[in-house]
Amino acid sequence: MLAQHDAPIIAIATAPGRGAVGIVRVSGKNLGALIQALCGRGLKPREATYMPLPDETGAPIDHVLALHFPGPNSYTGEDVLELQAHGGPVVLQLILARCLRVAASLNQQGVPLLGGLRLAQPGEFTQRAFLNHKLDLAQAEAVADLIDASTEAAARGASRSLAGAFSNEIHQLRDALIHLRMLVEATLDFPEEDIDFLKQADAQGQLNRLQHNLARVMAQTKQGALLREGIRVVIAGQPNAGKSSLLNALAGAELAIVTPIAGTTRDVVQQTIQIDGVPLHVVDTAGLREHPDVDEVERIGIARAWEQIGQADAVLFLHDLTRKDDAAYAAADLQIEQTLQGKLDAHVPVLHLWNKADAQSTAAALPTQATHLTLSAKTGDGLPALRQQLLHLVGWQGGGAEGMFMARGRHVQALHEVDEHLMLANASLQAQVPALDLLAEELRLSQNALNAITGEFTSDDLLGVIFSSFCIGK
């Protein structure tokens, strides 16, 4: 749930641990009295002041840079005080405690200098920026995405979202939708105008253009979600097909133990790599087999492998090229493939990889589909083609990272809701006897779904979930 946002808050705004510089941040209304008591002087707005910060005995805790950002021209929209000190955890805790004690001290009227000052909850500074209309919700989420970015492309995309690139696209869709709603609502208010009025105003053309622009934004948003959340790729196959070797080759490190003994991999091993700036979460799993020698530990590993496969965005089904003509091996591969078809959603791609090409003396006759690749996890042959095919299978278009903005799964879902409502609106408009009341309702629901992206129509529960994922001090 959202925290009470009218009380002043304080937190250490830099990462835990030792560092060159650490920051203690205070946000609230009317910080002047606290600043005067804490620093012994007033501070010029937005001007750094180098000074000793004394404790209650007058001895300096540290020499700090003090900055005062009066509201509403601050990050949170409230008065903000930042104290930049040496980045030792003890020093920062001493400054934090000093601020709390000064805030609780009484003035001449017997009133605390800054009553109610408390430690900030995770994300509460950015939450206040949102509540005070300094950022919309998509921009606020981009703050966390920028901090969490694991690739250069992700950082650039988050920066563009923070600057408002994604929000601007949503606002343009919303403005067009509002204009169309005005026409429909006016027709409902003046039924004598009826359909002729909508035809003259090109309501159908406006709706078509809106759907076209929505499709473009949806495609961009899907790319942004891939950039932020990455792709979960599960390597599956029989024992000794080379799954762990493939994970090691993709990661460029010896992460998984590789031996010729069947059942070596007993548990899930995961590593995140990047391809063209897209995070790729590669999961190695236990070999899939049914054999009397399978013990209880390996059986649990196989069960976990199937669990991972069920959560995959893409599956790499690894085959051993050297055993391709072994009838028992081929039958087991076929059984795994049939089980995959039953466990995976239709939209989850399965890429068939024929490994150990380096050990195959003659070229084997393999299927020619794009979903079948030959490679060698040992030598690295075929890995570049595998990387590019993976991006293609999950819909990464690439080439436009400079213009890419960051997005989240909830944004993609909200835009799908808009698309569904607009399709129903189009059906209502094109009916032999247009149902204008249904058309108006679908357009209203479309606008609500758009507003949920930027936070203009969002439940407090959703806000609580979003901001609780931030770090404390941000």
Supply the CATH number for residue 253's domain: 3.40.50.300
Peptide bond before 72: cis, by omega within 30 degrees of 0?
yes
Give the mean pLDDT of 24-43: 93
User: For the segment 319-373, what is each residue's pLDDT rounded down to a tens digit?
Assistant: 988 888 889 888 988 988 888 888 888 888 888 999 888 876 554 555 556 678 8
In a domain, 17, yes or no: yes
Q: Is the pTM of this model over 0.75?
A: yes
287 is in an annotated binding site: yes
Q: Is the pLDDT at 425 greater than 80, yes or no? A: yes
**For residue 460, is it within any domain?**
no
Q: Is 310 annotated as a binding residue?
A: no
Q: Which residue has the higher pLDDT, 427 or 3?
A: 427
Statement to judge: residues 60 and 75 lie in one domain: yes
199 is in an annotated binding site: no
Determine whether the annotation assigns residue 343 to a binding site: no
Query: What is the total count of domains within the chain?
Result: 3
Q: Tens digits of per-residue pLDDT, 92-137?
A: 999 999 999 999 998 888 889 898 999 999 999 999 999 999 999 9
* 164-194 pLDDT per residue, tens: 999 999 999 999 999 898 888 877 766 555 5
Is 161 among the annotated ligand-binding positions?
Answer: no
Select from 132, 125, 114 the least CA-distant residue to 27.
125
Same domain, residue pair 359 and 264: yes
Kindly state whether residues 212 and 240 are assigned to the same domain. no
Is 467 domain-assigned? no
- Nearest 5°: phi and psi at 467? -75, -20
Predicted pLDDT of residue 307: 87
Residue 460 assigned ligand-binding role? no
Q: Is 379 annotated as ligand-binding?
A: no
> How many of the other CB atoms lie within 10 Å of CB of 327?
7
Tell me: is residue 208 an annotated ligand-binding position.
no
Annotated ligand binding at 286? The verdict is yes
In degrees, to the nearest 5, what angle opens at C-alpha 435 toward C-alphas 182 and 428?
85
Annotation-wise, does 284 bind a ligand? Answer: yes
According to the model, what pLDDT value does residue 50 have? 96
End-of-domain residue from the set 342, 361, 393? 393
Q: Is the pLDDT of residue 461 over 50?
A: yes
Residue 427 counted as domain residue: yes
Name the more confident of 393 and 441. Answer: 441
Residue 399 counted as an annotated binding residue: no
pLDDT for position 324: 85
**Residue 324 annotated in ligand binding:** no
Q: Is residue 142 part of a domain?
A: no
Q: Is 33 annotated as a binding residue?
A: no
* Mean pLDDT to the nearest integer, 309-319: 89
Over residues 55-81, the mean pLDDT reads 94
Q: Is 358 annotated as a binding residue?
A: yes
Determine contact, residues 413/453, Cβ cutoff 8 Å: no
CA–CA gap between residue 41 and residue 51 (Å, rounded): 10
Do 258 and 376 share a domain, yes or no?
Answer: yes
Condensed to tens digits (0 to 9), the pLDDT of residues 236-295 reads: 888 888 888 888 888 775 554 444 444 444 457 788 888 877 888 888 888 887 766 667
Mean pLDDT in the chain? Answer: 84
- Given this model, what pLDDT does residue 409 score? 87
Q: Which domain holds residue 221?
A: 159-226+404-455
State the average pLDDT over residues 232-237.
89
Whether 68 is covered by a domain: the verdict is yes
